[in-house]
Structure 1
Amino acid sequence: MSGAAPQAANRISALVVAHNEAERLPECLAALGPADEIVVVLDRSTDGSLAIARARANRVIEGDWPLEGDRRNAGIAACTGEWVLEVDADERVPPALWAEIRRVCASSAHAFHRVRIDNHVGGRLIRGGWAGSFGTTSKPILFRRGAKRWRAQRVHPGLDWTGTEGEKITAHGIHHALDRDISDMLRRLDRYSSAKAADLLDSGKIGSLPDNLRRFVSRFFKSLVSRGGWREGGWGVLLAFCTGLFPLLSHLKARLEPERHGGRPRGGDRQAGP
């Protein structure tokens, strides 16, 4: 953490929410050294994450949160800085980006800012093709405390904001070690779609098969063509497939195996999706 204390209004809390991330957490926390405060939220971790977090963080919170939105809100509430930088355990904040973050926090009149995300699969940087809920090239992860609230959902919960959005930070990006390889990407698709199926069942609106087939086609096209996935060759095709399949697979899990994902559909599969 930084030596010279900045003005109180510009203090930055770095927040990490993790589950069994003992392998990735050390590098993530080391890269957060320039922050004025590090807060780690551990959700049902059973590996060595607790010892790692206690060695580097100012505050460690343990708990059991079935919903992603709830555990992230708990972490935000624990931060004391005027600004919060919310990163995941598989993300690294390079030194050059810290300088840009400090500049923005010192001069911004806005409530939040998006930060460029550089997604890597294995050792390969993949710039094009990220779309939908399967990946993004920027996220609103730098914000004033009190400006951001996550909704009560399991996967990719929605956000409610207080205040205006400022400039996007693009000169430097966060290094995101998203997937180790293709098999890891497919396992992530399976996890995400299972969690989304549970959210659909909770809402009682799982959508229809025709609608989700159309979403598959439109998301595949958006990822491969509109978002430049074609420039990535075979990786772009794979990414477009996963991006399009995510809502369709979530729907099919909720429709065909509701008992595995929290119950039975409460409104039938002809209802409009969220």
Structure 2
Amino acid sequence: MLSVVIITKNEAGHIARCLESISWADEIVVLDSGSEDDTVAICRRYTDNVYQTDWPGFGIQKQRAVDKASGDWILSVDADEVVTPELRSEIETALRQEGYNGYEIPRLSSYCGRQMRHGGWWPDHVLRLFRRDCGQFTDSVVHERIIVQGQIGQLTTPLLHDAFINLDEVLHKVNCYSTLGAELLYQRGVRSSLSKAILKAFWTFIRTYWLKAAILDGREGLMLSISNAEGAYYKYLKLLELQNRQSR
């Protein structure tokens, strides 16, 4: 039995497409953290297993969703991701095989309408399919991952990811993720300065645009490199702000 788990908050623009793409699963579990749009209503059209709770961070929230599932296998997807019919077929084949307790899936992400093949975005192998009794999410507030005991295989058909639909979404996510990233760094004992924030932004741009060849993705490759640099800059600037606040 396969359970698909999704965490949501204000995903009305994405969630129907996602849910439609995994409507074939034996069970769908949605864990929402206070959506103010139609997300919950849309989800209830596809599953009765819709729950609402607080927001403790990505890792803990995704594990909460797993804990509410009953399937032997878990497929974790985000609200802005789509499982194609071809990926469904490969997943169903993988579930019938022996020897693996988890599978990585290549993820093909789009940025402002363009599927990105460079800049470190492809191939982006993410571990999303695993046996429930062999895997668990880390409790990281951001950049969570799944730890699986046993052999891990790799699928070949990509999971489609609408990472950023437009610039408004880019700016929103840069703001959110830079805040979460700064908090995580602070908890780890990392410290920052204005010069460090500037250098991190500069290096992030160079690495994304030149070293990881985002230049080959045209205009969107340049836009991605700049927004990545902005994310690094604001993350370390917010870390500096945290330091100053705590020292008062």
2:172 maps to: 187
Question: In the alignment, what sits opposite 2:136?
Answer: 149
Residue from 68, 74, 77 that aligns with 1:87: 77
Kindly, what percent of the aligned residue pairs are identical?
26
Residue of structure 2 in register with 1:5 after alignment? none
AA aligned to 2:125 is S
- Listed one character per residue, the Cα deviations across residues 199-248 of structure 1 (whole Å, up to 9, x for unaligned) are 22333323566665554444333322343312112221222233344333
2:147 pairs, out of 143, 147, 160, with 160
TM-aligned CA distance change 1:145 to 1:201, over 3 Å: same
Q: Match of 2:27, as an amino acid?
A: E
In the TM superposition, what is the alpha-carbon distance from 1:98 to its structure 2 partner?
A: 0.2
Letter in 1 for 2:54: D
Aligned partner letter, 1:238: M
2:210 to 198, 222, 225: 225
Q: Which runs of 5+ in 2 are unaligned?
A: none
Cα contact 2:5–2:75 (8 A) shared by 1 = yes
Match of 1:269 in 2: none
CA distance in structure 1 between the aligned counterparts of 2:101 and 2:221, rounded to whole angstroms? 34
| Number of aligned residue pairs | 248
Residue segments in structure 1 that go unaligned for 5+ positions in a row: 1-10, 267-274
Contact 2:197 2:236 in 1 (8 A): yes
1:14 and 1:155 mapped to 2: Cα distance?
20
Post-superposition Cα deviations, 1:99-122, rounded to whole Å, max 9, x if no partner, equal: 011111211412221112121233
SS of residue paired to 1:152? coil
After TM superposition, the runs of 4+ consecutive aligned structure 1 residues lying more than 6 A away are none
Secondary structure at the residue paired with 2:16? helix
For the 8 Å contact 2:182–2:235, the answer to whether it is kept is yes
CA distance in 2, matches of 1:108, 1:246: 42
Q: 1:203 to 1:31 in 2, by over 3 A?
A: same
Cα 1:146–1:95 change in 2 (3 A) is same
Taking a change above 3 Å as real, the CA distance of residues 218 and 57 of structure 1, as seen in their structure-2 partners, is: same
Instruction: For residue 155 of structure 1, give the secondary structure of its aligned residue in structure 2.
Output: coil
Q: Please say if residues 146 and 162 of structure 1, whose CA atoms lie closer than 8 Å, have aligned partners that are also in contact.
A: no
Cα separation, 2, equivalents of 1:220 and 1:182? 18
CA contact 2:193–2:237 (8 Å) conserved in 1: no
Say yes or no: does 1:72 pair with 2:66: no
SS at 2:74's partner residue? strand
1:196 corresponding residue in structure 2? 181
Checking the alignment, whether the CA contact within 8 Å between 1:223 and 1:240 is kept in structure 2 is yes
Length-normalised TM-score, structure 1: 0.80
2:83–2:160: 8 Å Cα contact kept in structure 1? yes
TM-score (norm 2): 0.87
Partner Cα separation in structure 1 for residue 203 and residue 210 of structure 2 = 10
| Aligned partner (choices 127, 143, 146) of residue 140 of structure 1 | 127
